[in-house]
A = this chain, B = another copy of it.
């Protein structure tokens, strides 16, 4: 780091600070933030003050710290996820109105599906896919739909690391799932995420037939309209893809 102690740069510290906010908490006392980020209190204090000066963090009079509006603004006006979201929203709304269920939009990041948007219907089944939440590829229909339509190279890298972590038997099961997903053109996971729900996702393909996103719904197990669900999702996915190519 800059001077003396622990060994990371200012950038590292800032990232640690930003990452230290837990998923659902909006404001933390300075001291807790220091603890969570593993930074000395003084350093935390100084950085927070600087960041707050730019509006990236917000320091309330009571000593609480929370992410700032300016940070949200900076990110949400230029983030790559935004273009995707803008293209997808009208279609997601359509799907939601027709099927009256949770709809979600995800992209692949590393070996996980990162959920970019989610529309939930009051009264619909609970949906674990939070906005900005992550789920492993092999336990989410979104993840499967995304991974099934990637380069062979990327897929084998994924399967290799999966084998290292989970063993050969589990890996073979995932390989079968991916293959099915690819040939069917959609992914379904019955009761894996949540015993009472059924996740279905289709890929949003670019011109080279690679998945740049996935569009999915989470419905109750008893819902049996697969014939209607899948074509509706696929049509919407094509619409999103078209909008992405010619904005």
Q: Hey, which bits of chain A sit against chain B, CB under 8 A?
A: 2, 9-12, 14-15, 18-19, 21-23, 25-26, 47, 50-51, 54, 56, 58, 66-67, 69-83, 86, 89-90, 93, 96-97, 107, 109, 114, 119-122, 130-134
Q: How far is the CB of A210 from chain B (nearest CB, A)?
A: 16
Chain B contacts for A79, CB-based, 8 A: 67, 69, 71-72
- Chain B contacts for A54, CB-based, 8 A: 11-12, 15
A78 and B25 contact, CB distance less than 8 A: yes
User: Nearest-CB distance from A84 to chain B (Å)?
Assistant: 10
Residues B51 and A11 in contact, CB atoms below 8 Å apart: yes
Bound Cα distance from A79 to B11, whole angstroms: 20
Report the separation of the CA atoms of residues A162 and B27 in the bound assembly, to the nearest whole angstrom. 32
Q: Given A74-B18, A76-B132, A132-B77, do A89 and B11 touch, yes or no (CB 8 Å)?
A: no
CA distance A223 to B187 in the complex (A): 44
Q: A71: which B residues are within 8 A, CB to CB? A: 75, 79
Complex-state Cα separation, A240 to B86, whole angstroms: 23
Contact of A78 among B67, B90, B134 (CB under 8 A): B67
Residues of B near A131 (CB, < 8 A) are 76-77, 82, 86
Find A133's partner among B15, B77, B80, B86 (CB 8 Å cutoff).
B77
Interface of A is mostly: helix
A-B contacts, 30 of them at CB < 8 A, read A9-B50, A10-B10, A11-B14, A11-B50, A11-B54, A12-B50, A14-B14, A15-B54, A15-B56, A18-B74, A21-B74, A21-B78, A22-B78, A25-B78, A26-B83, A66-B80, A67-B79, A69-B81, A70-B109, A73-B109, A73-B134, A75-B76, A76-B131, A77-B131, A77-B132, A77-B133, A90-B120, A93-B93, A93-B119, A97-B97
Asked whether A11 lies within 8 Å of B76 as measured between CB atoms, the reply is no
If the complex has contacts A58-B80, A66-B80, are A72 and B75 also in contact, measured as CB distance less than 8 A? yes
State A183–B78 Cα separation when bound (angstroms).
38
Instruction: Take A26-B83, A69-B107, A109-B69 as given contacts and tell me if A47 and B11 are in contact as well, using a CB distance cutoff of 8 Å.
Output: yes
Q: Which of A18, A54, A75 has the most CB of B within 10 A?
A: A75
Name the CB-closest residue of B to A85: B131
Contact A75 B81 (CB under 8 A): no
Name the B residues within 8 Å of A14 (CB-CB): 11, 14
Shortest beta-carbon distance, A188 to chain B, in Å? 26
